[in-house]
A and B are shown apart, each in its own frame.
Chain A
Amino acid sequence: MDSVRRKKSRLFGKKAGIASSLILFVWSAIVIFPLWVMFINSFKDRLSIYKNPFWLPEKWNFKNYTNVLKEGNYLVYFRNSFLVVFLSIFIVLVLGSLVAYALANWKGSIPNILYFIFIAGMMLPIRIASIRLLGIMKSIKLINTIWSLLPIYTAMGLPIAVFVLTEYMRQFPKELMEAAHVDGAGRLKILVRVVMPMMRPALATVAIYNLVPFWNDLWFPLIMISEENQKTLLLGVTRLFGQYQTDWSMVLAVLSLSALPVILLYIFMSKQFIKGLTAGALKG
């Protein structure tokens, strides 16, 4: 009897399997088609893109890529973006975890107030504060350096970090912390040794959530930085946007290259992410 039922549900599973494969396949096509358009058009000329925008170029033009690599500036832009984005994310994760750990364990009304103060930051467009931030950066002499972006991004990332990490931290089984505490571990040690490793999915979520807007931010570099060797990648790319004309083939080449590290990082992190999950004993 039991085996019959099992068979039935597996049969059903097969049909559902086909449907699910179909859904995933169709969506992937919708994702890959624009990427294909991006890739092939990055090998064309400014105007030849439009002769046949969705198919292989008649004449492959590698100049876009060689220009990017030849022009030392792009490598500098790249380094700047990399440095500032990854440092910001690292700081966000560290500071955010400390706050979340405290807020999840601290009882009373003060932590609730602090929590709301932090997440209120998600609800206003930070652009509104541009003029003040510009003034602050000027007074602490960070203007025109990529370091002006570090505290801004950190502050921008904190609300989401506090929000997501605190929500996850609340679900964290208290028994595990207790056990570690009985074993004589300090609270900070518990955070670093016990809680953080099991929070990997949440940390990865926060990291990825912030990685994208930081990496692709144009506004703050635009108003803070005019010095050539302090520009971020996206700001550097805007040089290709003219008043009346834009060299899209070149833009696509630069931005294809700029997307690569983020994609690679994602692939790397999502593996870590799965590893962390299978190793962890955290159950919902």
Chain B
Amino acid sequence: MKRRLLSWILILLLAVPLLTSCGQTQTQGENTIKPDTTSVAPNQPDTPKADEKVVLTMGSWRADDKAQMDKLLAQYTAEVAPNVEIVFQPTNPPDYNATLRLQLENGTGPDLMYARSYATGLELFEAGYFGDCTNIPGILDNFSDSNLAPWRTPDGKMFAVPFAAVSHAVYYNKDIFDAAGVSIPKTWEEFIQVCETLKSKGYTPLANGLADEWDILECFFLGMLPNYVGGADQRVLYENGTKALNDQNFVDAYTDIASIKPYLPSGFEAVTYNDSQALFSSQGAAMFVDGSWTISVYDDVDFNWGVFAIPARAGKETLITFHPDMAITYNNASKYKKEAMDFLAWLCTEEGVKKASASLPTGFFPMIKFQITLEDVHANEFLALNNGRKTDARFVWPALMDLYTPMDQAVISVIKGDISPQQAADNVNNSRQ
């Protein structure tokens, strides 16, 4: 009896490793399809290098761009580095930071990966996971200082190669504007007037909502904030404490964002970012304050639309929030550092960026110094907003990231009418350590 029991247990104990070894043989089988240089090389030292194909992986939060990036990376293999294949493995965006970090901490991270700008990226570099990109040929010459800044350490090292920037503006439905007899507003006061007219004619003026929380801050409030506080030179004064975060400029900004409440969709508290896009594209709202990344969403809508800059108050200068968004770096622990750095060097050349921007989704703008022409009409319309205007990154990104959440909550509460603009400004100022 006991023997039978023991044999039973033995079978069970064997079952687990057996199943697991099953998995191993399976992966080994796959590895033979894509040979691994380190395992092949020592056995066959005579194999010519050209025959070996190195497979690199690239991590990204841009799951939307899978098709475009596959195309770009295939182009790189075909035209530049025949022995290198780069596989694009995006993660869905809400999970990117968390999973990338876990993988890097365990040494299972991708060889190449998208790097967030400023503090988030910097922290991963200082922890030793991101490679040093300072010596990649062309990086220091072909990008402007302001475009390098988001991925530069305080002591001047580069931890990623700048890849694309995004812009912020107001999308508007030209057909509705014509029907309602309104035109592009030049000042904030005119903007509110346009909203009022649209509302009186039965349209929902704005598609924005509060449910997802990030978009009302990142797209709308930080999009308009430079109109109140000024450009990069002024931002620095807030960062170093010369100016207070509850000064008149900020109170004005909170006052104006609070004044949009009547023009939001009914039930705006539960309107998600996805709902806002759907509202604008189904002509359920006349305007949507959003980022350039959304351009391609409206490729096939059956109405005419355009973009205009979020206007400043009368007598103030209108600025554009043009935000450095994506950069690419390599894994310090990668087996194929050289191949990865070669790819990054290609992204620092005019040739590489031309190819890349042809594949980049519309609404993501190349950051290199060379003149790159874009094909999409709306993308060019967006870029044209920069002409003759000062631009800056999103206010909190460079140095005040800790204020992101307090400012987000302040904006939401002030729109709902729970607190006054002065209170909103004070709350944010007080949460500064």
Determine direct contact between A and B, CB below 8 Å. yes
Task: Determine how close the nearest CB of chain A comes to the CB of B183; give it in whole angstroms.
Answer: 27
- Given A50-B282, A150-B20, A245-B274, also A188-B62 (CB < 8 A): no
B106 near A135: Cβ-Cβ < 8 Å: yes
Residues on the A chain within 8 Å of B275, using CB: 50
Task: Determine how close the nearest CB of chain B comes to the CB of A157; give it in whole angstroms.
Answer: 14
Name the one of A143, A148, A243 contacting B293, with C-beta atoms under 8 angstroms.
A243
Once bound together, how far apart are the Cα atoms of A140 and B22, in whole Å?
A: 13
Task: Determine how close the nearest CB of chain A comes to the CB of B345; give it in whole angstroms.
Answer: 25
- Given A226-B110, A239-B90, also A95-B102 (CB < 8 A): no
Task: Determine how close the nearest CB of chain B comes to the CB of A172; give it in whole angstroms.
Answer: 19
The answer to whether B236 has its CB under 8 Å from any CB of chain A is no
Name the one of B12, B102, B108, B274 contacting A130, with C-beta atoms under 8 angstroms.
B102
Name the one of B20, B57, B61 contacting A140, with C-beta atoms under 8 angstroms.
B20
The answer to whether A119 has its CB under 8 Å from any CB of chain B is no
Task: Determine how close the nearest CB of chain A comes to the CB of B400; give it in whole angstroms.
Answer: 23
Residues on the B chain within 8 Å of A134, using CB: 102-103, 105-106, 108
Name the one of B16, B20, B59, B95 contacting A222, with C-beta atoms under 8 angstroms.
B95
The answer to whether B417 has its CB under 8 Å from any CB of chain A is no
Q: Mark A166-200, 1 if CB is under 8 A from B, else 0.
A: 00000000000000000000111000000000000
Task: Determine how close the nearest CB of chain A comes to the CB of B258; give it in whole angstroms.
Answer: 26
A238 near B19: Cβ-Cβ < 8 Å: no
Q: Give the most central of B12, B63, B89: most A CB within 10 Å.
A: B63
Once bound together, how far apart are the Cα atoms of A131 and B106, in whole Å?
A: 8
Q: Mark B14-41, 1 if CB is under 8 A from A, else 0.
A: 0110011011101100100000000000
Residues on the B chain within 8 Å of A229, using CB: 30
A interface residue count range (under 10 / 10 to 19 / 20 to 34 / 35 or more) = 35 or more
Residues on the A chain within 8 Å of B12, using CB: 94-95
The answer to whether B316 has its CB under 8 Å from any CB of chain A is no
Q: Mark A240-284, 1 if CB is under 8 A from B, else 0.
A: 111111101000000000000000000000000000000000000
A238 near B63: Cβ-Cβ < 8 Å: yes
- Given A226-B110, A244-B293, also A188-B26 (CB < 8 A): no
Name the one of B22, B99, B291 contacting A147, with C-beta atoms under 8 angstroms.
B22
B279 near A50: Cβ-Cβ < 8 Å: yes
Task: Determine how close the nearest CB of chain B comes to the CB of A62; give it in whole angstroms.
Answer: 18
Name the one of B4, B15, B64 contacting A91, with C-beta atoms under 8 angstroms.
B15
The answer to whether B383 has its CB under 8 Å from any CB of chain A is no
Residues on the A chain within 8 Å of B20, using CB: 140, 142, 147, 150-151
Closest to B87 in A: A228
Once bound together, how far apart are the Cα atoms of A130 and B101, in whole Å?
A: 12
Name the one of A148, A151, A245, A248 contacting B64, with C-beta atoms under 8 angstroms.
A245
Residues on the B chain within 8 Å of A95, using CB: 12
A239 near B23: Cβ-Cβ < 8 Å: no
The answer to whether A7 has its CB under 8 Å from any CB of chain B is no
The answer to whether A24 has its CB under 8 Å from any CB of chain B is no
Chain B 76-123 interface residues, beta-carbon cutoff 8 Å to A: 89-93, 95, 99, 102-103, 105-108, 110
A145 near B27: Cβ-Cβ < 8 Å: yes
A151 near B23: Cβ-Cβ < 8 Å: no
Task: Determine how close the nearest CB of chain B comes to the CB of A125; give it in whole angstroms.
Answer: 14
A223 near B103: Cβ-Cβ < 8 Å: yes
B273 near A244: Cβ-Cβ < 8 Å: yes
The answer to whether B297 has its CB under 8 Å from any CB of chain A is yes
B278 near A223: Cβ-Cβ < 8 Å: no
A239 near B66: Cβ-Cβ < 8 Å: yes
A147 near B63: Cβ-Cβ < 8 Å: no
Once bound together, how far apart are the Cα atoms of A223 and B91, in whole Å?
A: 10
Give the interface SS of chain A, mostly helix, strand, loop or mixed.
helix
Name the one of B57, B95, B282 contacting A226, with C-beta atoms under 8 angstroms.
B57
Task: Determine how close the nearest CB of chain A comes to the CB of B66; give it in whole angstroms.
Answer: 7
Chain B 209-252 interface residues, beta-carbon cutoff 8 Å to A: none
Once bound together, how far apart are the Cα atoms of A188 and B291, in whole Å?
A: 66
A188 near B89: Cβ-Cβ < 8 Å: no
Chain B 397-416 interface residues, beta-carbon cutoff 8 Å to A: none
Name the one of B1, B24, B293 contacting A145, with C-beta atoms under 8 angstroms.
B24
Once bound together, how far apart are the Cα atoms of A50 and B284, in whole Å?
A: 10
Residues on the A chain within 8 Å of B278, using CB: 47, 49-50
The answer to whether B277 has its CB under 8 Å from any CB of chain A is yes
B5 near A186: Cβ-Cβ < 8 Å: yes
- Given A142-B23, A145-B26, also A243-B110 (CB < 8 A): no
Residues on the A chain within 8 Å of B89, using CB: 226, 228
Once bound together, how far apart are the Cα atoms of A186 and B1, in whole Å?
A: 6
The answer to whether A203 has its CB under 8 Å from any CB of chain B is no
Once bound together, how far apart are the Cα atoms of A227 and B87, in whole Å?
A: 10
Task: Determine how close the nearest CB of chain B comes to the CB of A106; give it in whole angstroms.
Answer: 14
Once bound together, how far apart are the Cα atoms of A23 and B252, in whole Å?
A: 55
The answer to whether B303 has its CB under 8 Å from any CB of chain A is no
B106 near A138: Cβ-Cβ < 8 Å: yes
Once bound together, how far apart are the Cα atoms of A119 and B390, in whole Å?
A: 61
Name the one of B4, B16, B63 contacting A241, with C-beta atoms under 8 angstroms.
B63
A222 near B279: Cβ-Cβ < 8 Å: no
Once bound together, how far apart are the Cα atoms of A221 and B234, in whole Å?
A: 46
Residues on the A chain within 8 Å of B8, using CB: 188
The answer to whether B281 has its CB under 8 Å from any CB of chain A is yes
Residues on the A chain within 8 Å of B1, using CB: 186-188
Once bound together, how far apart are the Cα atoms of A95 and B15, in whole Å?
A: 12
27 contacts between A and B (CB under 8 A): A47-B281, A47-B297, A47-B301, A91-B15, A91-B16, A94-B12, A134-B105, A135-B106, A140-B20, A145-B26, A146-B23, A147-B24, A151-B20, A186-B1, A188-B4, A222-B99, A223-B99, A223-B103, A226-B89, A239-B90, A243-B61, A243-B93, A244-B291, A244-B293, A245-B64, A245-B274, A246-B274
Give B contacts to A, CB under 8 Å.
1, 4-5, 8, 12, 15-16, 19-20, 22-24, 26-27, 30, 57, 59, 61-64, 66, 89-93, 95, 99, 102-103, 105-108, 110, 273-275, 277-279, 281-282, 284, 291, 293-294, 297, 301
With A50-B275, A245-B274 already in contact, 10 other A-B pairs whose C-beta atoms are closer than 8 Å: A51-B282, A91-B15, A91-B16, A135-B106, A141-B24, A187-B1, A188-B1, A241-B63, A242-B63, A244-B293
Give A contacts to B, CB under 8 Å.
47, 49-51, 87, 91, 94-95, 130-131, 134-135, 138, 140-148, 150-151, 186-188, 222-223, 226-230, 238-246, 248
- Of all A-B residue pairs in the complex, the 9 with the closest CB atoms, nearest first, are A147-B23, A242-B64, A50-B278, A241-B92, A186-B1, A238-B92, A145-B23, A243-B93, A134-B106
